[in-house]
Amino acid sequence: MWITGKPCAGWVEYGEEKPTQKAVHADLGLVDAYNLINRITLKGLTPGKKYGYRVSSREILAFEPYKMSWGDRQDSEWFYFTTPDPKAEKVSWIVLNDIHDRPASFSHLLSLVNEFSQDMVFLNGDMFDFETDQQQIIDHLLNPLGELFSTTTPFLFTRGNHENRGVFARQHGLYFENPDNRYYFSFRQGPVHFIVLDTGEDKEDSHEAYQGLVAFDVYREEQARWLAAEIETTAYQQAPFRVVIMHIPTFESGDWHGTMHCRELFNPLFNKGKIDLLICGHTHRYGIHPINEEHHYPLVIGGGPLETRRTVITVTADTNLLELAMLRDDGVKVGELKLNSQHRRKSP
């Protein structure tokens, strides 16, 4: 995906070493044109393979019925990425949360990660205080991440409660792409079955702050029904590790409605499905909360957004061992976890 400042037609050239193929996006027979937001899917790529690509846009000066007037063309640099591989032996990722419109935190927190070579980055909610316009998304997220990694390494945006606030909240989905094109989804990469949930707002739907314009109870219930079916799938049950990533924690997060509703709906399914790990944010108090009577899984909460409270979480997993480390913004390791797979795949 990329954004242009003027109406354009856009395309992607890609190949293993040099551009050998070209892709556009067409819908109902029409190739996208005269748009600002570009979203093109490359099809038929091989898992676990390195590809190069560049994106190009050509300005459309006038779009008349029988005459086009074309302007300048701009090409990006040639970038590389590696396609995800569900059968990879290892997977590694980074989690950032609760940045709250402080884009300098991205570069600072990622600078603490030794040799940034992880497969992906999860943005685990509350990247913004509220959503105002496209320029905020560009200045506070897309440009800083583009300079740091996102031309090469993908990120997945887990929505936090603050992404649901502001006049631009309903445009959020135009700018980000997730598996299944939803805010809640699952996917397998290497030995981990990932589940991302969208925990919604933190107060009850009827709270005056929302003026009758939110409906998160039914949305969380929809996700609970999906999750109940998900934990019964073979893909879920055969994965060496099952990791859930969502913004509002089920515990250690006060007693407001958002937390309590997530606890009521999701926690029994997390316990029943024997998830290995839950990673959250939201409380601004970092911590690793071990398995107890209520949650039969370790609950990791990243901190933020102020100095001395920000964290970056790194995780690596192979088929036997998952290792998590949480670094505070002064570089001190403030928590770690080592988990053995409890779901060894049966030998064939």
Whether residue 250 contacts residue 263, with contact meaning beta carbons closer than 8 Å, is answered with yes
Give the range of 156-164, 191-199, 293-301, 331-339 binding Fe ion by CB under 5 A: 156-164
Among residue numbers 3 through 22, which ones bind Fe ion (CB under 5 A)?
none
CA 68, distance to chain mean position in Å, is 38
How many chain residues bind Fe ion (CB under 5 A)?
4
Task: Identify which of residues 140 and 282 has a Cβ nearer to Fe ion in the complex.
Answer: 282
Give the range of 159-167, 256-264, 297-305, 338-346 binding Fe ion by CB under 5 A: 159-167
At 148, list the tokens: 């740091």
Task: Identify which of residues 160 and 298 has a Cβ nearer to Fe ion in the complex.
Answer: 160
Minimum distance of Fe ion from residue 176's CB (angstroms): 17
Give the range of 19-27, 123-131, 170-178, 270-278 binding Fe ion by CB under 5 A: 123-131
Task: Identify which of residues 84 and 258 has a Cβ nearer to Fe ion in the complex.
Answer: 258
Task: Identify which of residues 91 and 280 has a Cβ nearer to Fe ion in the complex.
Answer: 280
Task: Identify which of residues 25 and 203 has a Cβ nearer to Fe ion in the complex.
Answer: 203
CB 66: neighbour CB atoms within 10 A?
A: 4
> Among residues 126, 131, 163, 329, which is the contact residue for Fe ion, using CB under 5 A?
126
CA 17, distance to chain mean position in Å, is 28
CB 3: neighbour CB atoms within 10 A?
A: 17
Give the range of 27-35, 126-134, 229-237, 306-314 binding Fe ion by CB under 5 A: 126-134
Minimum distance of Fe ion from residue 161's CB (angstroms): 5
Q: Which amino acid is at 324?
A: L
At 246, list the tokens: 């969502």
Nearest residue to Fe ion, scored by beta-carbon proximity: 282
Whether residue 272 contacts residue 231, with contact meaning beta carbons closer than 8 Å, is answered with yes
Minimum distance of Fe ion from residue 82's CB (angstroms): 32
The span from the CA of 134 to the CA of 6, in Å, is: 14
Minimum distance of Fe ion from residue 247's CB (angstroms): 6
Secondary structure element (H or E) that encloses residue 109, with its range? helix 104-111
Over its C-alpha atoms, the chain yields an Rg (Å, rounded) of: 21
Minimum distance of Fe ion from residue 284's CB (angstroms): 8
Minimum distance of Fe ion from residue 160's CB (angstroms): 5
Minimum distance of Fe ion from residue 217's CB (angstroms): 18
Minimum distance of Fe ion from residue 248's CB (angstroms): 6
DSSP assignment of 228-266, as one string?
A: HHHTTSHHHHT-SEEEEE-SS-SSSS-S-HHHHHHHHHH
The span from the CA of 101 to the CA of 200, in Å, is: 19
Per-residue contact flags (x/-) with Fe ion for residues 269 to 308, judged by CB under 5 A: -------------x--------------------------
Residues in contact with 93: Cβ distance below 8 Å, sequence separation at least 6, in sequence order: 118, 119, 120, 121, 122, 314, 315
161 touching Fe ion, by CB under 5 A: yes
CB 256: neighbour CB atoms within 10 A?
A: 15
Q: Residues interacting with Fe ion, by CB under 5 A? A: 126, 160-161, 282
